[in-house]
Amino acid sequence: MVSSSSVKAKKAGVSGDDLVSFIPAKTWQGSKPGYFFGTVKKTGLGYHLDPHQQKEQTTSSATKAANNKHKMVSPVDLPSAKRAKRSVVFAEDQNTVRTIPSKNNSNNSTLLEEAEQAAKENHTKVIDLTSKGVQNAIKNLQKANEKNQIQRSQHPDEPELYMDSEVALYEAIAALQPIAADPTNLYPPLTNNKSNDTLWSDTFTQLCMHPNADVVSTLVALLLELLDPALLDTTLSSQHARNQPVLCLAKLTLQHLMELIVGNLKRLQQTTEKQEAQEGIGKGVQDVLSLMENLLEMDLTLQTTNDNDNPTFLVDSDDHSVAAKLVKETPFLSWLFLQIQDNTPSKDRALEILAFLVQREEVHTIHPNWTQLPAYKSALEEEEEEDNNNDQTEKQNDKTIDGMEILLVNGIAPFRKQQPANETEVEALENAVICIEAALTFSPPNVQAFLDAQGIELVLRCLKEKVHAGGVALKLLDFSGSHAVYQKAAEHLVAQANGLKYFFPLYMGRQLPKPAILSWAKKNNDNTNNKKKSAITKAKKEWLHAMDNQTIRILYALTRHLTDKSPQDAKQRLLAKFLDDDKCDRLVELLLSYDQKERLAEFKFWKSDVEEELDDALAKDAALEAKLRGGGDIFHRLGAIAGFCCVGSKRCHERILSQLSMKQSGIAVVKAALEEFISVLGTGNPQAEQLQVYYDGI
C-alpha cells in the first residue's frame, strides 16, 4: 500500500528519489508519471519506478505547458523501458472520456484549457464535439489501429514494445463515445462519408478480431453507447432526419460486425474467467448481450414508425428481420442455450434475451426443431487449434443442442418442488416458460419434442406440489393449435398423464399453486407494512384471475381436440367430470360473470372519446377488440365448453338450463357466446364448424 506522504509527493512533483519503488496493481489503471506498468520477478505485477522517466522529469513545468498548450488529446506517457512480457489489461473505470463543448460557446477557450489540464491529470482523451472533431477522432483511431497492428506483427513475443500503441488504441476507441450526445450532427462522419468505408470493412473489422479481448470489449461498449434505442424519436417517422443517422449506424453494424461480435462471446467469457476481475457476468459479455437486445428493440420500433410508402429496414432480406439474421448467420441462439445448460453467470441474462428473441415467428422458421440446434462454434476459432484437434472438432460439429430439454431441465425443473427464492429466480422461471410457450405456439415439431421430454408430466408435478412454477407453467398445457400434433398432446394429457385430476380442482378454485410472493410475505410477516400488504393482495388477486383464465383455455382446448376416437375414452372421461352438479354450476357462474365483464368493457369503449375519432367500420372493430380484452375471449370459450356439455350429456344440459333459470338468464347466453365466437373465427374454420354443431344441437 502506498503511504499518504508518497501520494502527496507525487502530486507535488517531487523527484523520483522520494517516490516509492513499487505500487502493486492487478490491472492497468492509467499511466503514472515516473512509473511503468508490468511484472518484475521480485515484486510482481504493478507500477515500478522507471529511471528513464526520472531523467525526463527534469524538464521544467513551463516547457511542458508550452508544448501541450494546443493539444486536443492528452498523451499517455508510458515508458519504453524493457518490461516483463505481459498483455495490456485495461481498467475502464480509470480511463474515462471527457468532452468539450462546441466552439459556439463564448467561454470556449477557458473550458478548453480546463479540459486539457484535466486530461493531462486523468490521462484521458478529449475530442471536439463538432463534425470536424469527429472526423479527426476517426482518423486518429485508424492511425492508432495501423500502428498497433504493425508493432504487434513486428514484435509478437515482446508485449512491452507494443504496449504504448495498445493503450493509445484503447483510448482512441473510447474517445468516440461522447458523440452519442448529438447523433444528428455527429453520426454522419461515421456513416455518410464514402471515404469511411474502410472504417467499417477494415478498421472496425480488425478491432473485432484483435488479439486483446479488452480492445474488442471497448469497441462493443462504444457501439452500445451509440446504438441506444432511446436515441430514436418514436413520435417521428423512421425517415426523419433525427432518426436516420442512428438507423444507418445500426445497419452498418449488422452488415459488417454482427457475426464477429457474436463470435467474441466465448473469448470474452474466457477472459473474464481468467482475470477473475469481477463476480458474475463479465462486462464484455454483458455489453454484447445488451447490444444485440438494442438492435432487436430498434427492429421492433421500426414496425410502428416506418413510412408505408418508403420504409426503412435494418436488414436487406426478404423478411427484413434482425432476429432472423441473428439466428441464421451467427451461433447466438446456441450460445444462449449453452449458458442456460451450464448454469453460467450469464444464465439469467441469456434467458431474458432468449425470451425476447424467440417471440419472433421467423426464428422458428429457421430453427423449427429445438432438439437439433447446431452446436456453438465461434467464427474466430484459431486455425492452429482446429488443425491440432481436427478429429475432436469434427465430433463436436456433429453434436446438436437439445434446446427443449435444456429449458425444461434447467429452467423449470429446479422449481418443481420449491419456491423461487427471490425476484431474480422468478423472472428466470417466467422467461424459461415464455421461451417454451413460443416454441409450442410457432412450431409443431417442438410440441412433439415437449411430449418426448415429458414436459406435460413436469408441469403436472409442479401443480401437484402447488408451487409457483405450477401456476406459471400451466399455460404450456394449452394445446389450442390446429396441427394434428396438438390433438395428440391433448389426448396424451388426459389419457396418459391423467391431467384431469389436477385441472378440475383448479377449475373449482381449489388446490391452487401458491405464488412465490405469498411465501416471501409469510417468512417476513412481522416486517410487512401496509404498502407491502396492499401489493401482496393485488398480486394474489391477479394470480387467481390468471389461474381461472388459463384453466378455462385448457379445458376448451380439450373439448376441441378430444373425439370419440381418442384413446382410452378420453372424451368420455372429460364429459364425465361435468356430470357432477357442482361442475355445471361453476360453469354457469363463470359464464355469466365473463358475460358481464365483456359487456362492461364494450360499454366503456362506446362511452370513451376513442370511437369519435374513428369511422363506423373501424369503431366496430375497436369495440370488438375491447370486448375480447375485457373478458370476451374467455366468455367465448366458456360458451364452447357449455355447448360441449349440453350436446354430449342430457343431464349436463338440464343442469345448465336449471342454473341459468335460477339466475334469471337462459340458454340464449350460451348461444350468444357461440354465435359471436363463430363470427370472430370466420366461416370455413374447423373450430367454427365444430361450434356450429354445438349451436344447432342446443
Per-residue pLDDT band for 35 (boundaries 50, 70, 90) equals confident
Per-residue pLDDT band for 87 (boundaries 50, 70, 90) equals very low
Q: How far is CA 481 from CA 55, 472, 487, 537, in A?
A: 80, 20, 8, 35
How many alpha carbons fall within 13 Å on the CB side of residue 415? 31
Residue 323, C-alpha cell as written in the block: 432476429
Residue 100 has a pLDDT of: 43
C-alpha span between 39 and 24 (Å, rounded):
10
Name the residue among 164, 13, 166, 172 with its Cα closest to residue 78.
164
Quote the mean pLDDT of the chain: 82
Helices 633-648 and 570-577: crossing angle in degrees, nearest 10, is 100
Residue 1 has a pLDDT of: 41
Residue 163, C-alpha cell as written in the block: 504496449
Strand 126-128 vs strand 98-100: parallel, antiparallel, or unpaired?
A: parallel
C-alpha span between 148 and 171 (Å, rounded):
13
For the cut 90, the answer to whether the pLDDT of residue 537 exceeds it is no
If you search the block for the grid coordinates 480488425, which residue do you land on? 206
Listed range (38-42, 228-232, 350-354) with the worst mean pLDDT? 38-42
Residue 409 has a pLDDT of: 97
Torsion of CA 681, 687, 690, 695, to 10 degrees: -30
- The count of other CB atoms within 10 Å of the CB of residue 342 is 11
What number is the average pLDDT over the span 245-251?
92
Helix residue spans in 44-162 (DSSP H): 51-56, 61-68, 108-122, 131-154
C-alpha span between 583 and 566 (Å, rounded):
23
Name the residue among 637, 440, 452, 463 with its Cα closest to residue 552.
637
Residue 648 has a pLDDT of: 94
For the cut 90, the answer to whether the pLDDT of residue 646 exceeds it is yes
CA angle 290, 292, 294 (to 5 degrees): 70
For the cut 90, the answer to whether the pLDDT of residue 359 exceeds it is yes
Per-residue pLDDT band for 638 (boundaries 50, 70, 90) equals very high
Q: Percent of the chain beyond pLDDT 90?
A: 58
Q: Percent of the chain beyond pLDDT 70?
A: 78
What number is the average pLDDT over the span 272-294?
76
Per-residue pLDDT band for 566 (boundaries 50, 70, 90) equals very high
C-alpha span between 224 and 219 (Å, rounded):
9
DSSP state of 39: E
Element (H, E) at 49: strand 44-49
What number is the average pLDDT over the span 210-237?
92
Listed range (103-112, 182-191, 436-445) with the worst mean pLDDT? 103-112
What number is the average pLDDT over the span 617-621?
86
Residue 108 has a pLDDT of: 44
Element (H, E) at 8: helix 4-11
